[in-house]
Homo-oligomer: A and B are copies of this chain.
Amino acid sequence: MKTLLHPTRAVALAFLFAIVTGTVLLLLPLSHATAGEVPWLTAFFTAVSAVCVTGLVVVDTGTYWSTFGQTVIMVLFQIGGFGMMTAATLLGLMVNRSLRLRTKLITQVETHALGLGDVSSVARLVLVTTFASECLIATLLTLRLHVSHGLPWGEAAWSGLFHAVSAFNNAGFSIYPDSLMRYAGDALILLPVMVAIIVGGIGFPVLHDLRTKWHDPRHWSLHTKLTLSATAILLVGGAATLLAMEWSNPKTLGPMSIPGKLLAAAFASVSARTAGFNAIDIGALTHESWALHYFLMFVGGGSAGTAGGVKVGTVAILLMLVVAEIRGLSDSEGFGRRVSHSAQRQAITVLVLGSAMVVVGTLFILRGSDIPTDQVIFEVISAFGTVGLSTGITADLPESGQLMLTLLMYVGRVGTITLAASLALGERRMPYRYPEEHPIVG
């Protein structure tokens, strides 16, 4: 019984339970917009995609599902996002406590971090943050959709709510078949969505640091400093690179005005790292932009938030290691702090296993279909990073390929955070050590 209740196992099971419930609800005739049965794979794929806040779809959300079905989907990605944010924060606190019990050194530095004391207070804080953000964004979107785009109040409110919840949870579901392309030029639609994506995706520990120590950046945790700086670099760098690559592509940024190009590139950069909305046609991007997306989608957002991927903090730890090694330093350091060896090893493990998942998924889908490799890689990383962008092949994949995508979404969402927590919680000192050797590298 104890093993069954092991916290990481509980998280994995809770997500499975939500997926099964969602599948059953979506199979109901009530969920279908027209008459006729919903195939089980369509319901299952949609439920996995919603619970894992991915946004890949095999049918058009706005026309295939009834309003009831769309509500089920929205509730599923709301639960998925909220559940993951809470679970990951709690697992992080458990890791912290276990580290604190093990070493004295770390205690001194991290006592300012959130305490595990009150589980329900964490859940309440997450809930309040989520609710407040979503209400604000939904209101802004509704007003804009009614006032400037002439949607009737009811339709505007539904669309505003759906996209606000989808954005904050980095779910990427849209009730429009072209995602947000119809609002590509409208800053008052895209900017609120971008803010929701970033706030939801930066992760709860960062939000907590910002909220409690807003005026005291010096005392933010190393995690907060790493996540914020890496996020800023990725957002600006991603937008600038996309801008350069798509500037004169007639199917994407080419026909836009200069402010329009800037807005669209910024939106694509924000969305690529896990949200999965698109305001330009992903299938029409240049091949080099696809390759850039591979990187952005794999990295993902902040830890213990609604974002997927291996997380910016994980990649930052890896880069700090490389920089320290090149500079000949024996410690990996930044912001006046030294990164613990165990965090480095955990980061590398997450990256290696994540890459292995992508390789296995790609080979499996290539084996079963004739779709070009670059589109398969795009789809696989999009699923693993729970991004939800697609070059348009999702519905054309054979059943085996769609099932592989559901596995990638589940592992990408549940696996990355439970893996890291299991690694940190499972660490133990060995009673003996072997003699050291330095094998040849390179």
By a CB distance below 8 angstroms, the chain B residues around A47 are none
* A36 interfacial contact with B, CB 8 Å: no
Stretch at the interface among A37-45, A60-68, A316-324: A316-324
Most buried by B among A319, A339, A438: A438
Is the beta-carbon distance between B331 and A348 smaller than 8 angstroms? no
Is the beta-carbon distance between A423 and B325 smaller than 8 angstroms? yes
Of residues 84 through 130 on chain A, the ones whose CB sits less than 8 Å from some CB of chain B are: 92, 95-96, 99, 103, 105-106, 108-110
Most buried by B among A329, A359, A423, A436: A436
Contacts A362-B291, A442-B314 given; does A110 touch B437 at CB 8 Å:
yes
Binding site for B on A (CB under 8 A): 92, 95-96, 99, 103, 105-106, 108-110, 203, 205, 221-223, 226, 245, 286-288, 290-292, 295, 303-304, 310-311, 313-314, 316-319, 321-322, 324-326, 328-333, 336-343, 345-350, 352-353, 359, 362-363, 366-367, 372-374, 416-417, 419-421, 423-424, 426-430, 433-442
Pick from B322, B324, B329, B440: contact of A313, CB below 8 A. B440
A172 to B39, CA, bound (A): 53
Pick from B317, B363, B367, B373: contact of A439, CB below 8 A. B317
By a CB distance below 8 angstroms, the chain B residues around A96 are 438
Could you say how many copies of this chain the assembly holds?
2
By a CB distance below 8 angstroms, the chain B residues around A423 are 325-326, 328, 441
Is the beta-carbon distance between B290 and A436 smaller than 8 angstroms? no
Is the beta-carbon distance between B440 and A328 smaller than 8 angstroms? no
CB-CB nearest 5 A-B residue pairs: A420-B442, A373-B374, A328-B426, A223-B439, A303-B440
